[in-house]
A and B are shown apart, each in its own frame.
Chain A
Amino acid sequence: MSFQTFVFYALALILIYAALRVITARNPVHAALFLVLSFVAAAGIWLLLQAEFLAITLVLVYVGAVMVLFLFVVMMLDVNLARLREGFWDYLPLGGIVGALLVAEMIVVLGGDYFSVGEMPQPAGHAAGYSSIKELGRLLYTQYVYAFEIAAVILLVAIIAAIALTLRSRKNTLYQNPGEQVAVRREDRVRMVDMRSEKRAEERA
């Protein structure tokens, strides 16, 4: 067994275990942390497939940003575990169908010899100076530029919609204007008074 194979199996084991724990862990925070672990394991597998850019982006975007916000929300929820399990039997048939479909797809992929998927040509090896980032960038901004821009606009619409749905302006909120605060001069706030010193009461008497 080569070192690569060993690393692949180790990462795959971690990935499967973490993915299982995501749906079996009782505590939602634990489930979210296991999801993070499965992302990291998946990034490792992508690295083995020489997709460095995708692997690093997976860690950067999903582990570094998305899951942090996820945890942020989940940690603040006071989750009632009994109510969470209520819908289990209702959703079981739908979940079962999705699961069966996934298993069927896996069978097609893994049993490639029977379905002659294995006759796909081996991907060509890369030259020494090959940079997957440059290739990806070139493709995104030339061949797929419209799809890329449309995806960006759709995301923008989603952002605006999410903000519009949750934005409530309260009338009694107080705001500061930092520009105004910075522009304040001493003369606006303080008046210097030239005042003669006065004698104490006992001295006056």
Chain B
Amino acid sequence: MMDSVEQLLGPAWPVVWTLAKIVAIVLPLVLSVAYLTLAERKVIGYMQVRIGPNRVGFRGLLQPFADVLKLLMKEVIVPSGANKFLFVLAPVMTIMPAMAAWAVVPFSPELVLANVDAGLLYILAITSMGVYGVIIAGWASNSKYAFLGSMRSAAQIVSYEIAMGFALVGVLMAAQSLNLVDIVNGQRGGGFWSWYWLPLFPLFLVYLISGVAETNRAPFDVAEGETEIVAGFHVEYSGIAFGVFFLAEYANMILISALCSIMFLGGWLPLVDTPLTFIPPIFWLLGKIAFVLFLFLWFRATFPRYRYDQIMRLGWKVFIPITLIWIVLIGALKLAGWWAW
């Protein structure tokens, strides 16, 4: 059947096929974002001995759709004195990198949209563009609170991106490749113990915590800081414009979790090699992503918000030195031939 469709479309076939693959990635992603919001409210609810949303649908399962419908119905208000073009562009600029980065994420050995050589670099470059949405939103809103939020966010994201980049340098040194498929294949061997979380444990922690900071999630959510600056950079946004910011935040969380699973937790590789191979690889990856996402929610329910100067200290004086030392250590081990992974 595939061949007949291919002949029917002729030269347009590659474009159509790629578009179909993109839809096959983005549609489940948006659905996961919807249910991640529900999961967050449920998980944090249970952690705080509440029930969480349980009115819409069976046990609240239709709650995300009710939320989306509400946001769609609401009016998008553009504040007076705001730069209208940039005001509308900002949410688009936040959602674009959160979606585009998925192009190189491998779901299983064969299941990847673009298996590019420099996948890791591509992801670093694309995700580094996400900060523009926040900065432009804060500036174009013509509001003091939004501006303060975007200033905080810009400083925070630029600081933590360095630590994050260095953590990834450690991964690429261990795997000797920038290709994400090769990085997962480099962790093959003795199951759980041969994944990179063990030899790169400090980098794993730095990456995870920097990921929380990069996505502006609690306890690093000073950019939103409800108790200090109302809602930070998106205080002036209403309706679906706000919804897009929301979507981008959760899509970024899923992306960071996916990258963390791929680079440190063995991607689609099974927990132990022999008895569990009947489970398809993609379910292993999805399970690991869900685990890291649960950590994100757990952090939010557990930790109080960091103060701004503490965030800066943690990023510059703790994380960057740790990653630098570990990179030198990996290099020395590799050179001496004592690298066991």
Q: Which residues from chain A sit less than 8 Å from chain B, CB to CB?
A: 29, 33, 36, 52-53, 56-57, 59-60, 63-65, 68-69, 71-72, 75-76, 131, 133, 178
Bin chain B's interface residue count.
20 to 34
Most buried by A among B121, B155, B310: B121
- CB contact between A63 and one of B118, B128, B135 (< 8 Å): that residue: B128
Contact of B131 among A33, A68, A75 (CB under 8 A): A68
Q: How far is the CA of A64 from the CA of B125 in the complex (A)?
A: 7
Which of A64, A131, A178 is close to B161, meaning CB atoms less than 8 Å apart?
A64
Residues 125-156 (chain B) with a chain A CB within 8 angstroms: 125-126, 128-129, 131-132, 135-136, 139, 147, 151, 154-155
A64-B117 Cα distance, complex, nearest whole Å: 21
Count of A-B contacts with CB under 8 A? Answer: 62
Known contacts A63-B128, A76-B151; is A53 also within 8 Å of B121 by CB? Answer: yes
Chain A contacts of B139 at CB under 8 A?
29, 71, 75
Q: Which 5 A-B pairs have the closest CB atoms?
A: A64-B128, A60-B125, A59-B125, A56-B121, A56-B125
Whether B118 contacts A68 by the Cβ 8 Å rule is no
A33 and B136 contact, CB distance less than 8 A: yes
**Chain B positions near chain A (C-beta within 8 angstroms):** 86, 116-118, 121-122, 124-126, 128-129, 131-132, 135-136, 139, 147, 151, 154-155, 157-158, 161, 178, 310, 313
Q: In the complex, how many angstroms separate the beta carbon of A71 from the nearest chain B beta carbon?
A: 6
Nearest opposing residue in chain A for B162, CB measure: A65
In contact, A56 and B158 (Cβ under 8 angstroms): no
Given contacts A65-B158, A69-B158, A133-B178, contact A75 B125 (CB under 8 A): no
B151 touches A72 (CB 8 A): yes
A71 near B135: Cβ-Cβ < 8 Å: yes
Provide the bound-state CA to CA distance between A17 and B157, in Å: 29
Residue of B nearest to A27 (CB): B83
